[in-house]
Structure 1
Amino acid sequence: MDKFYNRQAELNALQAVSSNLTETKGQLSVMVGRRRVGKTRLLNEAFQRGKTPFLYLFISRKSEASLVAEFAEIIKSELGAKFFQPQSLRDIIDYLLDYTKSAPLTVVIDEFQDIELVNASLFSDIQNLWDSNKRSAMIHLVCCGSLYSMMTKIFKGKDEPLFNRDDRFFKIQPLQPSYLAEVMQDHQQFSAENMLRWWCLSGGIPKYLEWLTRFSAQSEDLFEAVISEFSPLIKEGTHRLVEDFGSEHRVYFDILGAISKGHTSRAKIENFLNMSVGVHLEKLDDVFDVITKKRPISSKENSRDIRYAISDPFLNFWFRFIHANKSAVEMENYDYIRRYISRDFDVYSGLELENLFTAILVESKQFGKIGGFWDAKGHNEIDIVAVNDLDKKVLIAEVKRQQKRYSEAKLIEKAHQLLQKMNLRGYQIEYRGFSLDNLVAVMEEYRTPAK
């Protein structure tokens, strides 16, 4: 998947900053996005071929002395600083700010939030150096990180040294459904059934799409290639999360495993695991950005009627089918896991189909609010409610794998309580059945944002 999809607005903004440093002087951009979402690729695309030189520094979790030695070598090699002998990361930042007083430079510091683990006082050092030098240094400093809450706290927390020092803040999201479809069309893989499979296995994350394009070229049966000893997806959940979760990773994995199996309320998770999980759920949501809270669309922000969902479709799949069978993974019994998927995937992907249709509606930019509905007893569930208050329109949709299983009469009956709660008098209400049978048509219908 060498073609670069989407990201044009971010690309243009980043390139514009770096090409104008002689005029603007010091500029600080912050970029956040979950691991594998394509931040490094975007930065390479933006800066590799530009006129302004580009330096990439990665904060790996090792000692400060090791990082200083590594960065000094990069600086000597890239900037020709033969006699540069830094003693600390502060010296590295100081040198780069001084260097850029005579030559423009783009500097990317990746996994910036991990400075906290290497030397937390460096944030104050960077603030002092930045405030003293940014008006004379021709530097575009890009601080990039994968933990959204930590990066937000570093730059938006009132008591933090770097509070409001950023000039722009990019949140890089997975590719939306139309770009996922474009990737699939470019590789002759597009169909409604395949679209759902690729959504479940990638959630629009570019790295996973890259793997899927490779797998689909190797084998007609996608799961034959995905679930095998040579597949990077088998260990991917562990690689992505263990480092962030640290010593408590087993508890977090158990909670995510429970959610992936359909235990979506706190009470059900605690009952399933026989332990208290309140603090861990808050951290999974606020700190790690791995789960989202869902409330009925009619409820208030402080409502306690909460269901939890794993934000990333790939991680949801990984916990449901791979982590749940870790004994089979240990024994390399991949045939067993494929049979397990074959048995349960239709039911599982039917639930994920709701998320795919929701993502299609979000991408259309036609609605101000999108969610689901269920009553106080958890009954009268409605899959998708999308509200456009400007044009006074509401879309109420039921999602099924097959269109023949949709009943408009039943949906209207279920929606009665919702309409009472939401006070939608005067709104035009549209009832729809979404399914694999009309997925392609619905994508086409919502492709062009309403004017």
Structure 2
Amino acid sequence: MKFYDREIETETLRRIETTSREYAQMTVITGRRRIGKTTLIKHAYEGKEMIYFFVARKSEALLCQELSDTMRDVLGEDLGDFSSMARLFASIMQIAKRRHFTLVFDEFQNFKYVNESFFSEMQNVWDSNKNEARINLVVCGSLYSMMTKIFDDKKEPLYGRATSRIRLREFPLSTLREIMRDNNPDYTPDDLLAMYMITGGVAKYVEQLHMQKAFTKEKIIESVLSFGSYFIDEGKELLSDEFGKDYGNYFSILSAIAGGFNERGEIKSYTGVEAGGYLDKLENIYDLVYRYRPYLASENSRNVKYGIKDNFLNFWFRFIYKYRSAVEIGNLAYVKGKVLADYSTFSGWILERWFRQTYRETGLYNIVTNYWEKDGNNEIDLIAVNEADCEIVIGEVKRNPRRIDLHGLEHKAQNIITKRKGWRIEYAALSLEDMGH
């Protein structure tokens, strides 16, 4: 698959590499697993002197040997034998005082499992040598909670050491359209929506569909729910390391949210788990869920709902985890039947998400959300607000445009209209047909 998007990130990494020829740089790259961090780094530094090193969870002596071998192979520098990664890193920093190169530590957080003292030892080496070294040090990691703690916690030794931070996100919607055009020029809106539903713009998932040549709705669902599919165990593989031994409660809560139980009370009733503490961690430590209130609600309002940020995890918890008993006995036809039976409803909800993301990506609005009233009535799918220009878009989203009722939408929006007198209000009817090509 060709390299898509990432122009800004590539340009930024190359600019940092140029700066590092005079001043040592430490760049931290974070992003969920499969988002394309490694591919981006290799693309940005193609043709440059780069030592790429994956930090596996193995003995420190073995890691030292591997890194020494890589230094010799790439730079022709023979460092000798080491059993301490900190001492090896000190030798590497000495080399950087007489020549420039890029060093990448991938899955950097794994050093915690190799030698817990490495981060403090690395800090001492870095602080002692950075003023004379000409090194472009790039560290990246997928475990959001651990990477955040390492570099954002004031108690941690590497706090404040990063000179640049890059958070790699999913492909924008324009890139998903481009990928579809390249692989299925005659695609339908439903094909595009199915790709968005499964991948959410995560590069590795798009690549998996590309390898399977799955770029129609039918082929995408078949690819995800076929025997030996990459996607079947993906949710568990992604999150088990993050949650550790307590993953069962987290999985139950995420399953509840994916199933439409979005309020704390509903989640507790569904799971039997007191969800408050878990939800706070899912939002603030793991960055997996988001909390949202209806437009115009105060910050103190208890009218709060939760959603899963990631499209694939929404799908995985809604169908694969929920019907895991069928998955475990190999009855994927049963799961596929459940997906198809619920497809219209679930994809309709994903379509709402598509259009909210569409309005966010225009850059014209400072608030993009939805609306409902305390009793659950007058739900509105899309609210896009430009407070500076006193403009608001109020939208209804349906798969079928004939089911959109703009008069009914105007009635639902009366409370908003009353509180925003004098504003320019636009009503939007949004359906599959409006996804663009």
Tell me the CA shift for residue 319 of structure 1.
Answer: 1.1
Aligned to 2:211: 214
| Counterpart position of 2:121 | 125
Q: Is the 8 A contact 1:215 1:226 kept in 2?
A: no
Q: Which ranges in structure 1 are unaligned for 5 or more consecutive residues?
A: 445-451
Q: Which moved further from structure 2: 100-109 or 118-127?
A: 118-127
Deviation at 1:92, TM superposition (A): 2.4
Tell me the distance in 2 between the aligned counterparts of 1:112 and 1:377: 48
Is this contact kept in 2: 1:57–1:71, CA < 8 A?
Answer: yes
Q: What's the counterpart of residue 193 of structure 2?
A: 196
Q: CA deviation at 1:57?
A: 1.9
The answer to whether structure 1 residue 144 and structure 2 residue 140 are counterparts is: yes
Question: Which SS does the other structure have where 1:91 is aligned?
Answer: helix
Paired position in structure 2 for 1:271: 269
2:40 alignment partner, one of 29, 39, 42 = 42
- Per-residue CA shift, 1:24-57, capped at 9, x if unaligned? 220111111111111111001011223xx11112
Aligned partners of 1:203 and 1:312 also within 8 Å: yes
Structure 2 CA distance for partners of 1:308 and 1:217, relative to 1, 3 Å: closer
Q: What percent identity do the matched residue pairs reach?
A: 38
Distance in 2 between residues matched to 1:380 and 1:136, nearest whole Å: 63
CA distance in structure 1 between the aligned counterparts of 2:282 and 2:69, rounded to whole angstroms: 37
Residue of 114, 136, 151 corresponding to 2:110: 114
In structure 2, the CA distance between the partners of 1:159 and 1:217, relative to structure 1 (3 Å rule), is closer
Equivalent in the alignment of 1:449: none
Question: Secondary structure of the residue that 1:19 maps to in structure 2?
Answer: helix
Deviations 1:247-281 (A, max 9, x none): 11122111111111111111101101112122211
Whole-Å separation in 2 of the counterparts to 1:91 and 1:204: 40
What is the Cα deviation at residue 217 of structure 1?
A: 5.0
Residue 368 of structure 1: aligned partner: 366
Cα pair distance change 1:277/1:17, threshold 3 Å: same
Q: Which residue of 2 aligns with 1:296?
A: 294
**Structure 1 residues 66 and 249: alpha-carbon distance in aligned structure 2, compared to 1, 3 A threshold:** farther
Match of 2:5 in 1: 6
Q: Deviations over 1:165-195 (max 9, x none)?
A: 2111111110011100000100015321111
CA distance in structure 2 between the partners assigned to 1:180 and 1:302 by the alignment: 37
CA shift at 1:83, angstroms?
5.0
Separation in structure 2 between the aligned mates of residue 371 and residue 118 of structure 1, nearest angstrom: 43
Name the CA distance, whole Å, in 2 between partners of 1:147 and 1:406.
42
CA contact (8 A) 1:256 1:319 kept: yes
Q: Aligned partners of 1:373, 1:70: CA distance in 2, in Å?
A: 55
Summarize deviations over 1:270-324 as a string: whole Å, max 9, x none: 1011121222111211222111111112123343322111111111111111111
- Whether the 8 Å CA contact 2:145–2:242 is kept in 1: the answer is no
* TM-score normalised by the chain length of structure 1: 0.92
- Equivalent positions of 1:298-317 (< 5 A) are 298-317=296-315
Distance in 2 (CA, whole Å) between partners of 1:348 and 1:308 is: 17
User: Per the alignment, do residues 400 and 106 of structure 1 end up closer, same or farther by CA in structure 2, a change over 3 Å counting?
Assistant: same
Paired residue total: 435
Amino acid at match of 1:4: F
The CA distance in 2 between the partners of 1:118 and 1:224, in whole Å, is: 40
Amino acid at match of 1:92: L
SS at match of 2:155: coil
What secondary structure does 1:394 align onto? strand
Query: After the TM superposition, which residues 233-272 of structure 1 pair with which residues of structure 2 at under 5 Å, given as runs?
Result: 233-272=231-270
Q: Distance in 1 between matches of 2:184 and 2:359?
A: 25
| Distance in structure 2 (CA, Å) of the matches to 1:83 and 1:62 | 20
CA RMSD of aligned residues (A): 1.9
1:203 aligned partner, one-letter code: G
Aligned to 1:61: 57
Is residue 290–residue 307 contact of structure 2 (8 Å, CA) maintained in 1? Answer: yes
Residue 346 of structure 1 and its aligned partner are, at CA, apart by 1.1
